[in-house]
Amino acid sequence: MWAKILAAFATPILAVVLVMMVLNATHHTAVPHLALPSPPPTADLAASAASTKPISHAACVGKLPQHFAGLAVKKRITENALSFQKITGHKPQIVEFYNPILNDFAESQALKAINSGEVPLIQLNLYKVTARQIASGRYDKHLRTYAQAVRRFGCAVVLSLGHEMNGWWYPWGRPRTDPADFIAAWRHVHDLFAKQGAHNVIWSWDPSHQYSSPNPGKVASPASEWYPGKKYVDWVGLDGYLGYDTNGHPQTFREIFGYQLHDIRRIAPHKTIYIAETGVAPGPAALDQIRELFQGIISYRLAGLVWFDAKGQADSHGKLKQYFLQVKPQEAAVYQEMLTGFLR
């Protein structure tokens, strides 16, 4: 009986001695920790998309050249991108489109951009909601579903929340929305996406070039009042168009963008900055203003621009301004010339 008891104690002791001998022989002084597998990088998440969906790997990675140009469209993403490429001679690297925030993730639209080799930029507009409601968590169930869909999509997606928030023309701008409420909503959405593992999102904060009160009841403010903070923003996109002032004089790049670019660089000195929505109004100075637009981007060392390939706001006669280069061959030729030099 004593022999069995001694054997019971001796066996585990002997096992420990043998383990220590092996560790010393292999130059280990402690038992190694169990290494768990790391999660796949963002680029590899594309494999989670359905196998029936063709995916462009380059766009999934989300890498853009040092200088890039994009296209903003309201519909017919593939067709507009192809016709724009044909007239300008350059394929857009970004395709921007617009969706209300309460809609489902626009996967089919994003997939059209990806399959064409472009990175989708989605403007989530705060229609039928308020920034305060979003910050309070009222729409968290919907936002979690949206974030999970973006995560499953896998490819890089640029998201912007409530663009041109510092202006007066959208319901999420002044005076109906306070900057503090907008910032709280942005941070809330950003953190919710992070918790859902949607790490393939590039967050683009897109204020307007407007910063003053041109007319009674029309009030804009400096972009810095609406900045969510460096932890919550990856890119900064500034919206603005070159047109004519009240005296009919052609506007310059510095006149439209200079103030806000100075304000943005003060609060976000190390962020990628680009023009997220732009165009040149119809008029006798259009060709020169396209050149002015690119010269300004180069002078201010911006990453790129996104051309608004659609109809915009009405002019003083109530006629919608058209920014389509496809129907303006002279302007398209100048755009192509300037873009070719910019992308070199």
Question: What pLDDT score does 31 carry?
Answer: 27
- Of the given ranges (66-70, 128-132, 222-226), which has the lowest mean pLDDT? 66-70
Question: What pLDDT score does 36 carry?
Answer: 20
Given a cut of 90, is residue 51 above it in pLDDT?
no
* More confident of the two residues 88 and 26: 88
For the stretch 14-26, pLDDT in tens is 343 333 343 333 3
Q: What is the CATH number of the domain that holds 68?
A: 3.20.20.80
Using pLDDT thresholds of 50, 70 and 90, give the confidence band for residue 57: low
Using pLDDT thresholds of 50, 70 and 90, give the confidence band for residue 313: low
Question: What pLDDT score does 312 carry?
Answer: 63
Given a cut of 80, is residue 137 above it in pLDDT?
yes
Question: What pLDDT score does 21 carry?
Answer: 40
List the domain range (segments joined by +) for residue 294: 42-343
> Would residue 28 count as lying in a domain?
no
Given a cut of 60, is residue 101 above it in pLDDT?
yes
> Would residue 209 count as lying in a domain?
yes
> Would residue 60 count as lying in a domain?
yes
* More confident of the two residues 55 and 147: 147
Using pLDDT thresholds of 50, 70 and 90, give the confidence band for residue 213: confident
Question: What pLDDT score does 56 carry?
Answer: 53
Question: What pLDDT score does 217 carry?
Answer: 83
Given a cut of 90, is residue 46 above it in pLDDT?
no
Given a cut of 90, is residue 166 above it in pLDDT?
yes
Q: What is the mean pLDDT of the chain?
A: 83
Question: What pLDDT score does 20 carry?
Answer: 38
Using pLDDT thresholds of 50, 70 and 90, give the confidence band for residue 3: very low
Question: What pLDDT score does 171 carry?
Answer: 94
Using pLDDT thresholds of 50, 70 and 90, give the confidence band for residue 215: confident
Using pLDDT thresholds of 50, 70 and 90, give the confidence band for residue 310: confident
> Would residue 102 count as lying in a domain?
yes
For the chain, the domain total comes to 1
Using pLDDT thresholds of 50, 70 and 90, give the confidence band for residue 250: very high
> Would residue 266 count as lying in a domain?
yes
Average pLDDT of span 290-307: 97
> Would residue 302 count as lying in a domain?
yes
* More confident of the two residues 67 and 134: 134
> Would residue 19 count as lying in a domain?
no
- HEC letters along the chain: CHHHHHHHHHHHHHHHHHHHHHHHHCCCCCCCCCCCCCCCCHHHHHHHCCCCCCCCHHHHHCCCCCCEEEEECCCCHHHHHHHHHHHHCCCCCEEEEEEECCCCCCHHHHHHHHHCCCEEEEEEECCCCCHHHHHHCCCHHHHHHHHHHHHHHCCCEEEEECCCCCCCCCCCCCCCCCHHHHHHHHHHHHHHHHHCCCCCEEEEECCECCCCCCECCECCCCHHHHCCCHHHCCEEEEECCECECCCCCECCHHHHHHHHHHHHHHHCCCCEEEEEEECECCCCCHHHHHHHHHHHHHHCCCCEEEEECCEEEECCCCCEEECCCCCCHHHHHHHHHHHHHHHC
> Would residue 254 count as lying in a domain?
yes
